[in-house]
Structure 1
C-alpha cells in the first residue's frame, strides 16, 4: 500500500487534535485521570461470597452482580480470565457458585453447560487452592484437603527462608490474613451443594519425584496438618502470640481509603481475618474497609437492567502520568492549565513514608509514587519513573511549583536508584525479591509469588534516569547490560506487566535510546526486525494474552490501539522511518472514533502472566496519542515540511 505522506500528516494532525480534546475532557476537576480497569468475574463472585460470609449480602446488589456475571459467560458455559479468551476452570467455578448464590438453579441451561465443562476439565478437584478455600468457607470443600498456612509464619525473622518478606508485596498482603483463616477454618453452610461440579475421574495431585522440593513441601504440609488437627491449641504456645502479631501487621497496613494495598485479594482476606479475630462489623477498621468498596464499584444501565461490577484495582497515578506524557508529547503547551493541575495533584500524591520495601533497603530515604489513590505502604518503581517523566514535561512561571517538582524528582531518582536489584534490573515493588522457594509451597498455584526484575520495569527506570542526566551512571550502565542479557533470541523482550513481547519492546527500545545506544546496535536491529515480522496486514500490531502460555500466540492477535502504539513508540525511538511506521500510523488514524478516542475491548494489561489480566481503559487513548505526537515530531525533525 502506497501512502501519501502529505495527506497522512494532515490526517495525523487532525487525529491528534481530536485525541487531545477527548483526553482533556476525561480529566477530573482535581487534576487526575482515572479510567476503569476491567478484570474478570472472580472479583464479583468473591464480593458476593464475602458479603454472604459476613451476613450483609443484600438482594439488590446480588441481582445486579449476577446480571453482570451472566453477561460475561461464554457460549460454552465458561468464564474466561480475559475478554475473548478461552474458559478457565477456577474462574468458571467461582462464577457458577456466585450464580447459585443469586438463585440460579443447577438445571438451567447456562448452568448445566458450565457444570458439564467443569467436570470435563477435572472438576473442583483440579481448581486452584484459592477457589477451594472459598468453597471450604461455605462447606463445599473440606479444610483438611487444603494446604496449611500457620500464623507462626509471620514471626519468621527476616533472612529465614519463607519469611513473609520473601513473598512479593501482593502475595505477602494476601498470605498474612490467610494464615488467620487457615487457623480458624470457618464454615458458613450454604443452602445448596455443588456435587455437579465434581469430576469422578479426577485423581490426587502428584507429590513430585521422591526427594524433590515439591515432594518435600508436600510432606511438610502433611506434618502441619497433623499439628493443626491433632495437637490441642493449649499445646501451641506461640499460636496466640502469632495471631496477635498477625492482627497488628494487618491493621498497620490498612490504607486511608479502607483498602489494603488498593487490591481486592488482600482487602477481602484482611476483612475476613479481622472478623474471625473478633473485630465487629461496626468497628472503624471494618466499617472503613467495607465502605471503601463503594469507590471501586461500577454500576451501569444495560438492555438487561442495571449491572454492578467491582474493579480489582484502580490506577489514577499511572493514568495521570501517562495522560500528561501523551498530551505534552503531542504538542499541548507545557504550561497548559490541565497539565499544571495534573502536576499539582501528582505532587500531592507523592509517598514520603517508609513501607515494606524498607525491609531490604533500611537506609534508603523514601520518595516515589504508588499506583492507587491511597497506598502509602507500597509505592512502585513503574509509577515513580512515569511520574518523574511526566513532571519533566511541565513548565510554569511559578518558581515555587518548579522547586517542588525538582525536589520530588530528586527524591524519586534517589529512591529508584536505591531499589535496583543486585543483578542490575528492577522489580516492581521490592528489591532482590527473587527467592523462588515460596513458590514451591502447595498453597502457591496461582500467579507469581515473588517480584523479580522485569524488562519493562527496568526499561522504564533506565529511561527516567537517563532523562534526568544519569545515562552514564554505573546504575544505568549496569541496567542496560541487564536488558541486553535478557533480550530473547528472536529479538524481543518479555513483557511482565503488559501483553506481552510488544509491550516489552515498547518499553526497552525508548530506554536504550535514552541511555545513548545507537540505532544501529545489533540488539536494536533485532527488535525492529521482530516488530516488522509481526505487523498485521492491516498495519497494526496485536498480541493475545495466550502468548504467555502458548508460544504460537507470541506477537499474534487482532490489532489494538495500545499495542500498535507501543510498537510505534519503539520504532520511533529507534529512528525508524520505513513504510512500516507509516502503515502503523495510518491504522491508528483510520480506527479513531469521531470523538477522538479508540475502541479496545481486548485485554492488554497483565496482572499475573498466564493467570490474571487487566483491561486498562486508559491505554486505548493515552498510548495512541503519544505515538501520533512523537510521529509528528520525528517527521518534523527529519525535514518533512508537512509535519
Structure 2
C-alpha cells in the first residue's frame, strides 16, 4: 500500500473539513420530515411527463392547467439541438423525443414552430417512428398512430404459465413482470382513441427495425403464429387469461394506489383495468389515479408553474443512507434526528409475503422496500443498508435487534445459487426473456450484481458474520466479478466508480486484507481515474461505450463513492486528501452540494436517475470517515 502521510499538523485543513461536516449535518437536520424520514426528488426524463399526459388524454381526464404546466416543463428540458435526452449531458434519444413531441402537440404546439421542427428533423434522421422502442409504439397505437398489427404479439395467456415454465411471468424481474402482465391485456384489447391531430410527419417510411440472430428469428416465427391466433374466432382460455390477469394486477395494488411504487406498471395497470371495464370511479382505479398525484412535483419558474412526475420515490433508501451519513460524521446514536429516523424505519419493515416467495417459498417475510408503499417487493439492497444503519445504533437503541435479525435472515435466504444477490428476486437469471420481441425497454431480469452483493456482504461483515458460508460465498462472487482492470460494474449506480466504491469496503469488512491483490488493483484503478481537479466522475455512457469507463466531470456523489473505497483500504493514499479537498471546496454555503449530472441507474443503457439525496448523504459519509481517521490515526 502507499505510505504517503496525511497532513499531520495541518489544523486549518482539518478544521475546514469539520466545518463542512457541521454545515452538512445541519442541512440534513433541516430537511428531515416531522415523521422522521428523508426524501429527495428523484428525476428521470420527460417520458414520465409525456406518458402521464397521454394517459390522462386516453382516460379523458386531462385538465388544461395540467397540460400547460407539464408542457412548460417538457419544453424547458429540450436541448439546443431540438432533442430530449435520457440524462443530463447525454445524447438525444429518439423514443424520448417522439414522446415529448407528441405531448407538446397535445398541448397545442404546432409542427412548424422552430423547436418542434428541430425535434422532427432529429426523429426523421434517426429512422422516424419506425425506429422507436416498442413501448413508444404502444402509446402511439393507443391513439391510432401505429397499427396494433405491427406490434409484437403479447398474449395474456402468459399469466397462466406455471413458475417452472420458460417465459412465465416470474422469469421477468419484478419491475418488468408488473409491466408485462397489464401490457398483455392492453395489447389484446387493441383500443384506439384518436388524438385531435396526426403524427404522420414523424414517419420516415423506412419500415420497422427487427432484431437479428437465430433466437430472434425463432421468436419472429412464434409471433406470426400468435398473430394468427389473435385473429381466430376460437380462442380457448383467452377470457380466462384476461380475468386472471386482472386478478393478478389487483392483488398487487399497494396502499398508495400504485403498483411497485414505480411509474411503468402503474400506468399500464390503470390502462388494463380501464379497458377491462373498471370505471374510473371504481375504488381500485380511483385510488390509482389519485395516487399518481402524490408523485407530482410543482415548481415555480420564471416562465411560470411547471409540473413533473417522479418515476419513483425513495424515502427508505434516502433515510437509511442519511442515518449512516449522520453517524459517520459523529452524530450520536441517541440524537433525536437519528432516533426519529430509526423509529420510522422500524415501522416500514415488511412482514408479508410477495412475489419473491415464488423462488423462496419457505422464507419468513421481512426486509424493507425502497418506497413509502411497496409491501410486495422488499429488496435486498435497501434491507442491507437499513440493517447497516440499525447496526450502528444498536448499542443505544437495543430494541432494533429483532428487526435486524429478521432482515438478515431474509437477505441470506435471498442469496442466489451462484453466491451473489439480485435486488428483488433470487435466481432471476433466465435470459430467454431478453429475446422476446417486446422486451426492448431496458433490463428485464434481476441477476446478482456487484453493488447489491457488496452491500449485503458489507452488512454481514459488520454484523460479525464474515466467517459464515453466505458471506464467504458472497466474497467469492465479488472476487470473481472483478473486471480485468480492477473495477467492478455498477448495476444501480454510475457505474464502475459506484461498483468499486461498494465492493472495496465490503471486502474489507468481510476480512479481505487491504493489501490483497484484488483490493490493490481496485485502489490503483480509482487513483488512475481521479480527475485533475481532485474529484471523480463517470459519464453514464460508460454503460455502452468503454471509452467512458471511470471518466466524466467530477460529481459530489461519485467523488464520495471513490473516497469511501479508498478510506476503507488505504486512507493515507494521496488521492484521498485531494478528493476531500474537492468536496469541501464544492460545498454550498447552506451545507449541500450541487449535482446536475445523473449518477443513479434504473436500467443500464436505457433509464437513469438523479437522486437528490446522493449529493448530500454520500459526501457527508466520506468527510465524516476522513475526520474519524484523523482522530484515530493510522492503525
**Secondary structure, aligned partner of 1:433:** coil
Asked if the contact 1:315–1:373 (Cα under 8 Å) also holds between the matched residues in 2, the reply is yes
The answer to whether the aligner puts 1:507 opposite 2:509 as a matched pair is: no
Aligned partner of 2:195 in structure 1 is 190
Q: Residue 290 of structure 2 aligns with which residue?
A: 291
Tell me what 1:109 maps to: 114
CA distance in 2, matches of 1:63, 1:449: 34
Counterpart check, 1:634 vs 2:633: no
Cα distance per residue 1:224-246 (max 9 Å; x no partner):
111112x01xx112011101100
Q: Kindly indicate whether the alpha-carbon contact (under 8 Å) linking 1:154 and 1:176 is maintained by their aligned counterparts in 2.
A: yes
| Residue 263 (structure 2) aligns with | 264
Partner of 1:25, secondary structure, is helix
**Offset, 1:445:** 1.1
2:634 and 2:606 map into 1 onto residues whose CA distance is 47
Give matches, 1:362-401, under 5 Å: 362-394=361-393
Cα displacement (A) at 1:469: 1.3
Aligned with 2:139 (options 134, 154, 157): 134
- What TM-score results when the alignment is normalised by the length of structure 2? 0.98
Aligned to 1:227: 229
- Which residue pairs with 1:315 in the alignment? 314
Name the SS of the counterpart of 2:602 in structure 1.
Answer: strand
Partner of 1:443: 438
Q: Take 1:489 and 1:374, find their aligned partners in 2: how far apart are those partners?
A: 40
Q: Residue 560 of structure 2 contacts residue 622 of structure 2 at CA under 8 Å; is this kept in 1?
A: yes
Aligned to 1:17: 22
Q: State whether structure 2 residue 204 is matched by structure 1 residue 208.
A: no
Task: Write out per-residue CA displacement over residues 184-216 of structure 1, whole angstroms, 9 at most, x where no aligned residue.
Answer: 00001011111111113x24434534xx11110
Within 2, Cα distance between the matches of 1:247 and 1:195?
Answer: 34
Mapped contact 1:43–1:312 kept (Cα < 8 A): yes
Matches of 1:307 and 1:163, distance apart in 2: 41
Q: SS of the counterpart of 2:610? A: strand
- Name the structure 2 match of 1:341: 340
Report the Cα offset of residue 529 of structure 1. Answer: 0.6
Q: What are the equivalent positions in structure 2 for 1:599-614 lying under 5 Å apart?
A: 599-614=594-609
Alpha-carbon separation, structure 1, partners of 2:262 and 2:494: 20
Q: In structure 2, how many angstroms separate the alpha carbons of the residues matched to 1:293 and 1:246?
A: 22
Q: Which residue of 1 aligns with 2:447?
A: 452
How large is the RMSD of aligned CA atoms in angstroms? 1.3
1:469 matched to 2:471? The reply is no
Q: Is the 8 A contact 1:335 1:396 kept in 2?
A: no
CA contact (8 A) 1:258 1:290 kept: yes
User: Does residue 622 of the first structure (1) align with residue 617 of the second (2)?
Assistant: yes
Look up the match of 2:330: 331
Range with bigger deviation, 95-104 or 188-197: 188-197
Q: Distance in 1 between matches of 2:185 and 2:144?
A: 18
Alignment partners' CA distance in 2, 1:219 and 1:251? 33
Structure 1 spans left out of the alignment, 5+ residues: none
> Would the aligned equivalents of 1:316 and 1:372 in 2 still touch at CA under 8 Å?
yes
Count of residue pairs brought into register by the alignment? 630
Matching residue of 1:303: 302
Q: Is the 8 A contact 1:419 1:426 kept in 2?
A: yes
Partner Cα distance (2:90, 2:168) in 1: 36
Which segments of structure 1 move beyond 4 Å, counting only runs of 4 or more?
1-4
Residues 289-327 of structure 1 deviation map (CA, whole Å, 9 limit, x = unaligned): 111111100001000000000000001000000000000
CA contact (8 A) 1:207 1:218 kept: no
Q: Distance in 2 between matches of 1:575 and 1:176?
A: 49
* 1-structure distance, mates of 2:301, 2:138: 33
**Who is 1:162 aligned against?**
167
Is the contact made by 2:566 and 2:573 (CA closer than 8 Å) also made in structure 1?
no
In the alignment, does 2:117 pair up with 1:98?
A: no
Corresponding residue for 1:253? 252
Distance 2:224 2:414 in 1: 38
Q: Equivalents in 2 of 1:264, 1:307: separation in Å?
A: 19
- Contact 2:450–2:490 at 8 Å: present in 1 too? yes
Contact 2:500–2:522 (8 Å) recurs in 1: yes
CA distance in 1, matches of 2:502, 2:555: 17
TM-score by length of 1: 0.97
Give the deviation of 1:578 after TM superposition: 2.0
What is the DSSP-based 3-state SS (H/G/I as helix, E as strand, rest coil) of the residue aligned with 1:470?
coil
CA distance in 2, matches of 1:122, 1:204: 9
- SS of the residue 1:607 aligns to: strand
Indicate if the aligned counterparts of 2:130 and 2:209 stay in contact, CA closer than 8 A: no
1:175 is paired with a residue whose SS is: helix
C-alpha contact (below 8 Å) 1:325/1:390 kept by paired residues? yes
Aligned to 1:585: 580
Alpha-carbon shift at residue 575 of structure 1 (Å) = 2.8
1:119 aligns with 124
Q: State how far apart, in whole Å, the 2-side matches of 1:360 and 1:296 are.
A: 31
SS in 1 for 2:536: coil
Compute the displacement of 1:8 (Å): 1.6
Q: Quick check: 2:260–2:266 contact (8 Å CA) kept in 1?
A: yes
Whether 2:536 is the aligned partner of 1:537: answer: no
- Superposed displacement of residue 395, structure 1: 5.0
Aligned partners of 1:21 and 1:596 also within 8 Å: yes
Distance in 2 (CA, whole Å) between partners of 1:354 and 1:529 is 44
C-alpha distance in 1 between matches for 2:255 and 2:395: 32
1:206 and 1:160 map into 2 onto residues whose CA distance is 26
* Native 8 Å contact 1:493 1:505 kept in 2: yes
The answer to whether structure 1 residue 65 and structure 2 residue 70 are counterparts is: yes
Tell me what 1:31 maps to. Answer: 36
**Residue 74 (1) aligns with residue 63 (2):** no
- 1:576, CA displacement in angstroms? 2.9
- Say whether the 8 Å CA contact 1:329–1:626 is kept in structure 2: yes
2:236 aligned partner: 237
SS of the equivalent of 1:237 reads: coil
- Consecutive unaligned residues in structure 2, runs of 5 or more: none
